[in-house]
Structure 1
Amino acid sequence: MMRYLWALLPLSLCGQNLIHQDFSAGQSLDSLWQGDLQNFEFRDSALALNDSVAGQSTLYHTSGVMTAARWDFHGRMDFNPSSSNYLKIEVMLSQLPPDSSHFGYYLKLGGNAQDQIQFYRQDPNGDQLLAASAADYLDLNTVQYHISLRRNADLLWELYADTGSFEQWYLQASVRDSNHRFSAGLAMTCHYTKTRSTKFYFDSLYVVGAAYPDSIAPELISWSLKGDSALQLNFSEKLAPPQLSAFEIQQGIQLASLEWQAHNPHELMLHFKDPLLPNQPILLRIEKLSDLFGNHYSDSLNLLYRQVLAGELRINEIMADPSPKVDLNPNSFPEVEFIELINVSQLAIPMDQIEIQIGERLYSCPPFWLQPDSFLILSAANTAVYWPAQIPVLGLNWSSSALTNDGNRITLYSSEAEEIESLHYSSDWYQEALKAEGGWSLERKDPSSDCHTIWNWQASQDPSGASPGRRNSIADVYHDSLKAQVLALKIPSPFEIQIDFNRSLFGLGPWQIDPPILIDSLALSQEGKSHHIYLSQALEEGLLYRVFTEEGLVDCRNQIYQPDSLKVGLALKPQPGQLRISEVLFNPYPKGKDFVEIRNLGPGFVDLADLRLASWNSELQEAIDAKVLSLEHRLIAADSCLVLATEAAALHAFYQLREANFQAVAELPSMPDEGLELVLMRSDFEILDRVFLSEESHAPFLSSGEGVSLYRLDFQQNALRLDQWQSSPATWDYATPGWCPDIKRNIASKVQWQAYPEYLSPNGDGYRDYLELHYNLAKDAWIQIHIYDRQGNLQKEIIAGDQASAEGFVVWQGQDEGGQLCAAGVYLAYLEYRFADGEMGRARCSFVLSH
């Protein structure tokens, strides 16, 4: 057996770790060797394996060597290595005795199809091949190996080897790796079949080097609560096995157990005996938590088991259409879609517990703590790098066009899948047509308000087009004056009642129906503007039902709305004379729209879907251009009216539209400005009402009928006569769309207004020199009385506006405003009145003046 002689150590190595065993010189194993000692013996001037069955045998030794180090091994295997017969030499072990959970570095001689010397790094999650000799290097019947593995102070590894008669070291491979900087020992493990159980020989080994000079305590890198039952701590380096006594939690919370695994020594898990209370800060004390080198970590940690509640995180700004960019300064903010969030709570919010849904797609947020009263931008991941550093941004895995220009639903969810906030933005929110074309964000006025209406959102007023990461340009206290009201009652089927409101409302208690019908379920749509009541049994034809809620409804302002009992029932086929065209605007202002108002005189409900509105062709004597008024089953109750127009905004611009009695229609029949003839029909074309309207029906004193509606005087008279229509007065803003029956027109049976006598001759002869105009209004009212000639010229203002008793008269002596006697002819006397409850009307009568 060849012996290898070692020179004395140089002075530079004094004080370093050293292991030197020369078995070929007859040295025995020192006392620090442990493992399967019984399976080895000294034979043939070497330490030899001596087993009788297949298996594996290990010898291991303490060793802190890991840098400026060298590991030399000499020996032989009296066989050609294979996958079942090979030698594993672990030069750095994180723990002794070695097991599958430790980490470090090792050499493998054989055990692979390439017959190589292979160098591995062992990690908790698997082994990584770092370097290897040439293929077939060990493809010998007897392998006499000489190996030197070295690691310098720069953590560069070099593998030297020779086989056969040792002459010199040959470099096989080199690699730089610094993942592991701790060693507790080294080991040699023989893997063998029965026939090779005595064929492993070790001549000598020589290990020299320094331990890693670590005097730095570990640092806590991150922590995260796993629900309400556990805390995960991640440290900057590997920890020695910790004890539960190193941890203490205040506020009376007890720890149940500690979980630490050697294969993942950077991390540990603390388990609580009782669940943590949400949103309650707690203090964790850590005392003398040690790393592998005995350095201690001690600190206090403020923990918070955070459950984000509804309303604590708000959507504060939306940039759905960023092009073209308003602010051309490239350093302001990028031309990309974004959503701005604001934390309106008193506690920080962990964003990795938040999910955001845009339309149908759900996105998770990366870790980030959003502090109270702070802003955060969400943007596409591939655009996050373009944002200025002073604006906090999270990049999410959404496309750069996730926010559709016309609108979409955005919902924030907590980790418990609870809804935090939800809104459906719309291009209507901009309230400025030019800004809706792009480049401007939608800003929220008051994030403390739950309301998502045009009163709380509008286009940014910032000169840059948006205000990401700072206070919104429109920030103010939310104010909303819109009073809740019912817009429509619909019966989509005998098993469903639909109630439409003008704003989002939510029930404080259940809906009820009288006569009683069991309600199967309730569904909300249109942001709570539509309530769908599904019934367990069908509504009965001919019955009138009362729908009510005793507790009322609440809106986003927390204001309670108690609707009056709503009357519904199955609609019957309307009969001739039941429905009347009650008001028409056919010559609107330039930016206005035509409208037609219809009234149900009763009895029973009428379904708008069963009605058609058409023009009447006098030559053909038939209806043409018939329009379907609705595809929805909207009810028109008895003694109520409904105004039909293509859009509500055009009526709101000029008149006091009563939205509860408004129905948008796709199209009305052609309505020329000079006049028309309309027909109201059933869907089977049975004529229900027919009217004729003309500019000639307007008051003669009007210079133009533009923007002035005509209202019907008497629903029982022939509406083809021009004298059955009258101009809406200025006190009504020249139209009253949807206000029937609250503000009713002049009907002869209700208001009496007449001239006595029917002519006068103010010539001073004492006979009919003056005229008495008598009125009977049934109750006190505010009145105006004016005299006009047939050409519409004002002749005399008798009462400009004054409070009057219910019954009385005034006198006119035939003089104009200048005191001059008026010319002979026909004159018109107009009475306009308004009662204290807001009801108003107008009446006229005619008389003759002669000389």
Structure 2
Amino acid sequence: MKQTLPKAFVQIFSILAHAVLYISSALHLSLLTKRLLALCTPSPVFRRGLGGGLLLLPLLVQAQLQDDFSDGDFTQNPTWRGDQTSFIINAQNQLQSNGPAVTGTILQLVTPSQAAVGTTWEFWANLQFATSASNYTDVYLMASSEDLKNTSTSGYYVRIGGTTDEVSLFRKDAGKTPITVINGPDKTVATSNNVVRVRVNRSINHEWELLLDATGSGENFVRQGIATDAVYKRSAFFGVLARYSSANSKKFFFDDFRVVDTQPPALEDVQTQSLQELMLYFNEPLRTTEARNVANYTLNGNIKPALAELTQEGTAVRLVFSQTFRNGNNMLSIANLADLAGSILAAPLEVNFSFVLPAVLPGYNELLITEIMADEDPSVGLPQQEYVELYNPTDKLLTLQGIRFSDATTTTTFPNVQLEPGEYAVVVPNTQVSNFSQFGKVIGISNFPGLNNAGELLQLRQPNGRLIYAVNYADTWYKNNSKRSGGWSLEMIDVGNPCGAIENWIASENPRGGTPVQPNSVATPNPDNTPAILTEAIALTPDRILLRFNERLDSLQAAQVVNYTISPGINVQRVQVQGPLFTEVILQLITPLQERQVYTLTANKITDCTGNLSQQQQATFALPSDPEPGDVVINEILFNPRPGGVDFVELVNRSDKYINIQNWQLANLSNDSIANFRTITMANYVLAPKQYVVLTTNAANIKANYPAARQETFLQMASLPSYPDSEGTVMVLQPDKRVADRFSYTSEMHFGLLDDVNGVSLERLQLGAPTVSSNFHSAGNAVLATPGYQNSQTQASTLVQRIFEITPKVFSPDNDGFEDFATINYRTDKTGFVANITVFDSQGRKVRKLARNELLAANGFFRWDGLHDDGAKAGIGYYLLYIELFTLNGEKSEFKEKVVIGGRL
């Protein structure tokens, strides 16, 4: 039978429902709920109904248990399991034994309950027989298993009866004889009708109190004893066990079971497990949601853990932080944790613990250069002094004593200084220490290396020479032309990506020009998530191959011979990864390479510095041959760029050799003498047969002006010799000083009908013909220049038939994305053709002038979008394309092609 809610209760919970709408804090809601419950204390039946109906209060979890059997059912709400057929709910709504009349029978019922610490257990019992060693009941407050009869079950129970006719508290250890925790007075249940109400309290300090009301009313409790026992802090079940002789099979009565967790969890111990790991030990199991919420833990005022893990059956929390503990005293704040009953910490716990770090030498990438002031003049706001900033990215206490700091020409050593985890320090000459002390930790050294403004290699090494860190900075890393002129430092963007080069450095954004001994002004996540790319393979000698990668490698993994194969038929003997940047690999071969043979190098499972694994990559290469003049020739030149543009010279290897242009030079003529030499590249750079290379000072500028340019063919030089717009001579010299090719040009070589030659290149016509003026012509109007790909005016040695083809023959200029225009495709057999294209309608009237004196490339197309010259749309019908071709020599040809404009009538 369900009870009806009193009107007062309805009013109270109506208030609570409105309060929920205005109270956003979960803590406030919990406190309000507790206060209202304290006012009304509804019956067990009401509480169960509340949990399933209103849903205003937190659902009762297994740490709370209340059952008076007034619903007439013990199989649900809550569910009791065990010997269900041997129990009934009698007419008085009591749980009554109803087992077989067999002496020695043991009956049990259990229900889930995780209440363990800070808990009160209460129940009513009536044993209508004289208790004895064979007739008693054990009420398990905490049980590890639902099988109370099993000797392996552990926990705590209250025994009513027994030889001494008493009520006592016992601890049950698996496989062992029970241990008395509180021995109640004898003869408290010595009648043939024993009615009792029992209450057991356990504090958060594991102090037990046993109370007995022999009247069963709950108003006359008498303490039976107190004790302390902390062996078990976790429970899985609450239950009753009845042992009887045959006459007592139906004489056990139980009612008003009530288990309430009254106290929030208490922290018992804090232990450091590693440099970044803590274990928190609590007196009872915690509720999972709050325990795993990293927001509930704060280290040293502002550091949240990366992981909060519930362990040891819910009584311990493992915290893992992304940074190490402070050397010395640390403080941890713990808030909002709850036990399984929902009891929440009333206020944050603040726990202090100490931690001592051992000082060690840094390993590879464990001490970083994170800021470089290479050009301090003019000062923006900092002392006018070069400096480098050091950073400890580890969770270790680093000692810098004896560490070598060097550039290309100078090496110095650091004094006996320690760097805390996450700590910065600025390195300056001894004479500048006082000028930088305002910023934080300063390391003064003698013989401070002079930092090159344009860039150089800086290294940190252990006293034994082992590499710690290297950075090869350059002034291009500023990515800001005004800041590269002085007064601004270079800053690392993401200190978690120490292997990054130009993509992880940029000019400081701090108004003072830099941030010595502070997090960098440009700091932001910039992780390397892409594997290393094999950019090229170059044969240095017949038995040595150089591999270049676009980023630093894991030098140990990249040095494994099994990672490399060469086809056809070359075996690798040894691998050496070139330090200190580890972007280049040298392969020593067992058998020599042959000239003019193309080989395929396969690199498999190469790992970069940050651990990104690349799959199979391939690069083709060949053993370079000795060049002869005329093997590599000038293929295209832009000497008169558009305003704001730059010159370029394109070379092509027209031989069947592979040719290394390392240390080749560009030059010009001055007073009939070769002058103004510029080294093309000091690195190995092999041109395959028919391969182009575009030489310029600004590859981005060329790409912007000629979007079709193949950027992979660009080779950027610091400067080019002067090539004036009016006339000049391009000289290409081999390392042996022989002239590979030369080309003397004038502006008059451009096609005579061009209105504007700015931005138009001169292109070589026939690859095999000499480098003379007659073999060069202006690039076609459609492209203006062809840097890095086949010339628009290129000409084969065999003439081909002229072709004009219109596609589609029928089009509909309605902008629907399908055949919106007609294309007039052409292919000519020689250069120098000029085209006029006029569109006439079926009445012979001129509709559109598509081309007027248009210089043609070797192939290309024109397009008619179906519009008149005045922008009006042409009507549906037939149209004639009248095409005139002529040369400056007076040759002329005519072509007529038909096209149709279709559409809906």
TM class by shorter chain equals 0.3 to 0.5
Q: Which has the higher strand share?
A: 1
What is the TM-score of this pair, normalised by structure 1? 0.47
| Higher Cα Rg, which structure | 1
What is the TM-score of this pair, normalised by structure 2? 0.45
